[in-house]
Amino acid sequence: MFETKVLPTETTSLSHEEQFAYTVQEGLSLENKRLPSWLIFDSAGSEIFKNITELAEYLPAACEFEIIRNHKNSIAELITGDTFNLIELGSGDGCKTRILIEHLLGRKFSFHYFPIDISSGAVKNLAGSLENDHHDTPLKVTGLIGDYFAGLNSIVQNSPKQNLVLFLGVSLNNMDPPAARSFLENLNKALGPKDHLLIGFDLMKNPKLLYSAYNHPLFEKFNLHLLDRINQVLGADFDKDYFVQQGQYNPNTRAVESYLYSTRDQTVHIGALNKDYHFNAWETLQTEQSFKYTLEEIENLAAENGFEVVEHLFDSRKYFVDSIWRIAR
């Protein structure tokens, strides 16, 4: 079985377009203008980011590939029954998870894979690709398009199976601390005592390595695509020729922060909001933040949100960790 489903949304919740407009209006109205990076991710933005993950300078992706290849047996040992659910939050193209899926199939596990993502194209492409490669295996795939927790709750409430939940990459790094805590609290409420969470963290390292990673020309292209998105979705008239990008590590926030700098005085009109926004010359618009963690901070974060660490899985240089958590007993 290989299928995709669109998750229902609450009638009181905003549509994606309304949420986009609200977020842009709120962020550009701040004294220090700031927009979240999720606004960048349409199909073109996702493709640019995929290219970023393939850069030698961008360490998290390569490190996590190494972890999953070298520790796939340890991950498989978490499974205690004959069958289970493999649930991935923010699956994207599923390239790292494929390594694990093929290993689990090779060990004759019977399982149901649920990739969950807000991108319908990503989910449909992943499900179709897995069907092409594994149509003659016991693998079941149900791709869910929509909110992570709507998808997760629909699975765990309708299945008694053990769940292995994947939250890979730097997704949690990209949340500010209050948002990260809220996310983990919701995860704790959704999971049961026999479930496990495999969660990725980019670790604190030499700031010079961080600088080189976040200042590649592809990162500038990725950040400038935010302006394309606002132009396309909200009818704005941003001119990318008058913005430049730079990333920098902030030791006070312990995060790499990325900014677009306005290279001249300019006023941008956003048609859907019927508003003008002025940028002074060299005024910044923050577009990304990626917090870097120590192991002690990761373990404290787990404990504060009702989890306990089972094991840390490292790459050879200890630049990244996939941490295995379970509900605290």
CA–CA gap between residue 207 and residue 193 (Å, rounded): 38
How many other C-beta atoms lie within 10 A of the C-beta of residue 8? 10
User: Domain 59-205+292-327, CATH 3.40.50.150 — does that match?
Assistant: yes
263: tokens are: 């290279």
Residue 252 has pLDDT above 80, yes or no: yes
Place of tokens 């994207």: 92
Helix (H, G, I), strand (E, B) or coil at 320: strand
Contact 67, 251 (CB under 8 A): no
Q: Which residues lie closer than 8 Å to 33 by C-beta, 6 or more apart?
A: 27, 277, 279, 283, 284, 285, 286
Helix axis angle, 95-106 relative to 59-76, nearest 10°? 20
Please determine, for residue 233, whether its predicted confidence score (pLDDT) is greater than 60: yes
The per-residue pLDDT for 16 is 78
In b/e form, how buried is each residue of 60-83, taking b as 16+ CB within 10 angstroms?
Answer: bbbbbbbbbeebbeebeebbeeee
Burial of 15 (0-12, 13-18, 19+ CB in 10 A): exposed
- pLDDT of residue 14 exceeding 80, the answer is no
Residue 241: is its pLDDT beyond 60? yes
| Tens-digit pLDDT profile for residues 64-111 | 999 999 999 999 999 998 899 999 999 989 999 999 999 999 999 999
Domain extents for the chain? 28-55+207-291, 59-205+292-327
| Per-residue pLDDT at 120 | 86
Express each pLDDT in 150-200 by its tens digit: 999 999 988 899 999 999 999 999 999 999 999 999 999 999 999 999 999
Residue 318 near residue 204 (C-beta atoms within 8 A): no
H or E segment at 156? Answer: helix 148-156
Mean pLDDT throughout 2-9? 89
Full-prediction pTM beyond 0.75? yes
- Please give the pLDDT value at position 11: 52
The tens digit of pLDDT for each residue in 102-143 reads 999 999 999 999 999 988 888 999 999 999 999 999 999 999
Distance of CA 77 to the CA centre of its chain: 25
